[in-house]
Amino acid sequence: MENPFNDSVLLIDKPLTWTSFDVVNKIRYAGKFKKVGHAGTLDPLATGLLILCTGKKTKEIETYQAQVKEYTGVFTVGKTTPSFDLETEVDQEYPIEHIGSELIEKARISFLGKISQIPPVFSAIKVNGKRAYESARKGKDLELKPREIEINEFEVDASSFPLVRFRVVCSKGTYIRSLARDFGLALNSGAYLSELRRTKIGDFSVDNAESVEEMVKKLKLLNENLL
């Protein structure tokens, strides 16, 4: 009997503080897989859907990476951080008294469709052969080039303002941390990403994903039966 999880696609609900590679390594070890890869990084401070491919399915990783993604989360308006999220401390505060429902709606609409977005310096993008975050953490100034992305859907709920809940459906290459920064600028203020969850990748949903613990338990039981 062969391991049925070989040459397959696994849907994992990534826990908070884990890196995507933490999940890959845990599953590789538990399942004794020769090849495992993930189809799209999630930051340690994000949770949600992580697609893992094993064996021959790793050849399809780029196909999954290219698919449209859905995220939900929270922007905190009126403050900024260097990393655009909670990885770094708040560095500046901005006025929010002028922000009302009309300005929020105007800002929301401005992001729909194809837009230009500058990636965060705290990202894995390579600049002069080095990961941008490596230089950013050393305090070095970086200038990243804007790239075209597409926002298909963008919903916001400001009923708990200055916390703004959102749902966004976007193209490959979209940085939600950058969207947080730009949303704050569009409000003539500042904002950072304080919560993020990836809920869908293409037709795959986090509702059908398993926790790391659940998957590890399955793989260990399966390997015991295969011995």
Q: What is the pLDDT of residues 119-161, one digit of tens each?
A: 876 655 555 555 555 545 555 566 667 899 999 999 999 999 9
Q: Are residues 23 and 89 in the same domain?
A: no
Q: Are 168 and 117 in contact (CB under 8 A)?
A: no
Same domain, 168 and 211: no
Residue 96, pLDDT score: 98
Is 99 part of any domain? Answer: yes
Active site residue ranges: 43
Q: What is the CATH number of the domain that holds 42?
A: 3.30.2350.10
The answer to whether 11 and 204 have CB atoms below 8 angstroms apart is yes
What pLDDT sits at residue 110? 98
pLDDT tens digits, 72-100: 999 999 999 988 999 899 999 999 999 99
- pTM given for the model: 0.91
Give the number of domains in the chain: 2
What pLDDT shows up at residue 124? 57
Residue 213, pLDDT > 90, answer yes
Looking at the structure, tell me whether residues 34 and 46 fall in a common domain: yes
Domain match, 108 and 167 both: yes
Judge contact between 170 and 202, C-beta under 8 A: no
The answer for 17, left when phi > 0, alpha when psi is -120 to 50, beta otherwise, is: left
Range of the domain at 40: 9-66+203-226
Residue with tokens 């749902």: 167
- Cα 109 to Cα 42, 84, 125, 209: the distances in Å are 26, 21, 28, 32
Residue 181 lies in a domain: yes
Mean pLDDT of the chain: 90
Are 112 and 163 in the same domain? yes
Verify that 193 and 207 share a domain, yes or no: no
pLDDT value at 2 more than 80: no
User: Same structural domain for residues 73 and 163?
Assistant: yes
31/54 same-domain check: yes
Within a domain: residue 128? yes
Mark whether 166 and 208 lie in a shared domain.
no
